[in-house]
């Protein structure tokens, strides 16, 4: 069938419809067309991604005007604070905006000194150096994770030849954090160290850091330098370690009890007493009881002799009396003994690591079940083995069996079941609505199809009836001349009815029998 025949058939079918059928057909066709157009727009619509966020109205307006000039489509979100562009053009748009200077933050660092300017005073040189240093520090800070932008203000006093007149440099930093970001103390400490290493004479206590919410981030750094704060922080860390150790034991015991009593049928709590004191013990032991002789020194002198004459000396030998001789006899003896021994010993130094377990206490409560009573003794032995029970250390374990109050759990379960039921009902309603719309559309199409089919059958019947009404016996057609056959059919029927009424009556009888 050619195109002309198809159009003619469609036109014929359309004309065969009633007014109401035509209106319904137009509405259904329009609805289907709108659905297809909407689906096409959804499929072909580009996905938008944030280009910049947290913008001021002035900045957003300038960026929007620049995007219009660049012919890049955009969308505004978050009450105009966020600008979105097609995801495939995000990086290209950022590069073009940055190169055009619309994004701001295009301050110059040490590029200020790339061109020598004549006629500058020392004050101008000092101001330019301060501006350059501020911009260089800002560029470094914005690369820290979680920081979106930063403003840096430095106070650099002029140098003086007098030591007492030297000023104190200070620094202030205002950070704009990314949405949902929060700086860690280590990151704030890193920013502080960056300033201390970049600005001559700057001390950590003279650095002030705040965020876009007005929170003073450098306050914690100042507190860390206080000895009392450091001691308190150490105590808190020790308590945290103790709680983590207790939690680990509780998890181990709870996992074991879940296999024995089932889920939510037991509760275990552990208390650990940890010793965080640092101890160092030095022991010296003698490894060889038999002493080893290392050296010996012995001196022994004996003698026997006599002396005569006066006393030794000139005065004693010169006398005015006649010379007299005297004789004295004596015995001499000397003995000196020295013996050195080496003692063999072993010296050991034992350093006990902080965190030694001094005592453990565990409390276990098992749900009382009348159908199957709990063997408390076996559970106590299992818990003792799981937690590393040591009787010499003074550890304690308490295992009891009692009824649990599960009213809250039942209430939560009922609320969860009710919420799930509500979600299921809403899901069923949505499915039913969609199914109803689809069935309605199918019903409309079916009605249109049946009406068209009925119209087509009626038209075909009328056409066949018209052909039968124009039926003429062959004998009559043979008797009529050829030019009369080509005459008007109605005239032929009138003529036949006038001339041959009996034949017409026979034809009507045949029709009535059929």
pLDDT above 80 for 181: yes
* 45: number of Cβ within 10 Å: 9
Q: What is the DSSP letter of 218?
A: T
What is the band of 159 on the pLDDT scale with cuts at 50, 70, 90? confident
pLDDT above 80 for 156: yes
What single string gives the DSSP state of each residue in 219-230? HHHHHHTSHHHH
| Ramachandran region, residue 400 (left: φ > 0; alpha: ψ -120 to 50; beta: rest) | beta
Exposed, middle or buried: residue 24 (CB in 10 Å: 0-12, 13-18, 19+)?
middle
> Which own/partner pairs from 10-13 qualify as long-range (CB within 8 Å, at least 24 positions apart)?
12/459, 13/452, 13/455, 13/456
Q: How far is CA 403 from CA 259, 260, 380, 406, in A?
A: 19, 17, 18, 9
Q: How far is CA 131 from CA 65, 112, 279, 430, in A?
A: 30, 9, 54, 63
pLDDT above 60 for 487: no
Lowest mean pLDDT among 191-195, 204-208, 230-234, 251-255: 230-234
pTM (whole model) above 0.75:
no
Q: State the average pLDDT over residues 80-104.
A: 80
Biggest CA pair distance of the chain: 228
Task: Select the highest-mean-pLDDT range: 175-189, 277-291, 424-438.
Answer: 175-189
Q: What is the DSSP letter of 18?
A: -
The tokens describing 439, both together, are 């069935």
Mean of all residue pLDDT scores within the chain:
77
pLDDT above 50 for 327: no
CA–CA gap between residue 375 and residue 388 (Å, rounded)? 20
Q: How far is CA 38 from CA 26, 32, 411, 440, in A?
A: 18, 10, 45, 20
Q: Are 202 and 235 in contact (CB under 8 A)?
A: no
Q: Are 191 and 173 in contact (CB under 8 A)?
A: yes
**What are the DSSP E strand ranges found in 353-433?**
356-367, 396-402
Q: State the average pLDDT over residues 276-299.
A: 71
Q: What is the percentage of the chain residues whose pLDDT exceeds 90?
A: 7
Name the residue with higher pLDDT: 144 or 10.
144
């Amino acid at each position: 069938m050619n195109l002309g025949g198809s159009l003619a058939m469609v036109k014929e079918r359309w004309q065969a419809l009633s007014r109401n059928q035509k209106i319904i057909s137009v509405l259904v066709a329009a609805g289907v067309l709108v659905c297809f157009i909407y689906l096409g727009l959804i499929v072909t619509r580009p996905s938008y991604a944030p280009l910049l966020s947290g913008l001021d109205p002035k900045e957003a307006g300038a960026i929007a005007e620049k995007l219009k000039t660049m012919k890049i489509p955009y969308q505004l979100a978050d009450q105009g604070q966020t600008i979105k562009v097609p995801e495939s053009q995000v990086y290209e748009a950022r590069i073009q905006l940055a190169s055009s200077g619309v994004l701001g933050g295009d301050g110059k660092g040490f590029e200020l000194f790339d061109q020598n300017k004549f006629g500058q005073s020392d004050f101008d040189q000092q101001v330019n150096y301060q501006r350059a240093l501020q911009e260089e520090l800002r560029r470094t800070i914005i690369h820290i994770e979680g920081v979106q932008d930063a403003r840096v203000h430095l106070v650099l006093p002029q140098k003086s030849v007098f030591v007492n007149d030297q000023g104190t440099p200070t620094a202030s930093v205002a950070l704009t954090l990314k949405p949902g970001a929060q700086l860690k103390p280590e990151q704030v400490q890193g920013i502080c160290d960056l300033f201390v290493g970049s600005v001559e004479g700057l001390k950590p206590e003279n650095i002030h850091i705040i965020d876009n919410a007005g929170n003073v981030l450098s306050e914690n750094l100042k507190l860390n330098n206080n000895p009392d704060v450091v001691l308190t922080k150490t105590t808190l860390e020790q308590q945290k370690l103790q709680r983590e150790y207790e939690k680990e034991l509780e998890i181990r015991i709870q996992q074991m009890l879940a296999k024995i009593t089932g889920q939510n049928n037991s509760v275990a709590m552990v208390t650990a007493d940890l010793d965080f004191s640092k101890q160092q013990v030095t022991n010296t032991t003698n490894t060889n009881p038999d002493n080893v002789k290392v050296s010996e020194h012995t001196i022994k002198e004996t003698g026997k002799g006599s002396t005569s004459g006066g006393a030794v000396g000139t005065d004693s030998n010169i006398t005015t009396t006649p010379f007299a001789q005297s004789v004295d006899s004596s015995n001499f003896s000397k003995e000196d003994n020295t013996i050195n021994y080496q003692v063999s010993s072993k010296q050991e130094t034992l350093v006990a690591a902080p965190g030694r377990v001094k005592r453990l206490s565990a409390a276990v409560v098992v749900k009382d079940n009348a159908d199957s009573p709990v063997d408390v003794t076996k559970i106590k032995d299992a818990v003792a083995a799981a937690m590393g029970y040591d009787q010499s250390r003074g550890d304690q374990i308490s295992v009891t069996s009692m009824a649990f109050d599960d009213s809250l759990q039942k209430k939560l379960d009922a609320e969860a079941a009710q919420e799930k039921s509500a979600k299921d009902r809403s899901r069923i309603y949505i499915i039913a609505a969609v199914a109803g719309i689809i069935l309605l559309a199918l019903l409309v199409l079916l009605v249109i199809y049946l009406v068209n089919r009925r119209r087509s059958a009626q038209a075909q019947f009328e056409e066949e009836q018209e052909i039968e009404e124009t039926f003429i016996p062959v004998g009559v057609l043979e008797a009529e001349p050829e030019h009369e056959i080509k005459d008007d059919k109605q005239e032929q029927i009138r003529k036949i009815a006038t001339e041959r009424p009996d034949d017409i009556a026979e034809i009507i009888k045949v029709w009535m029998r059929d």
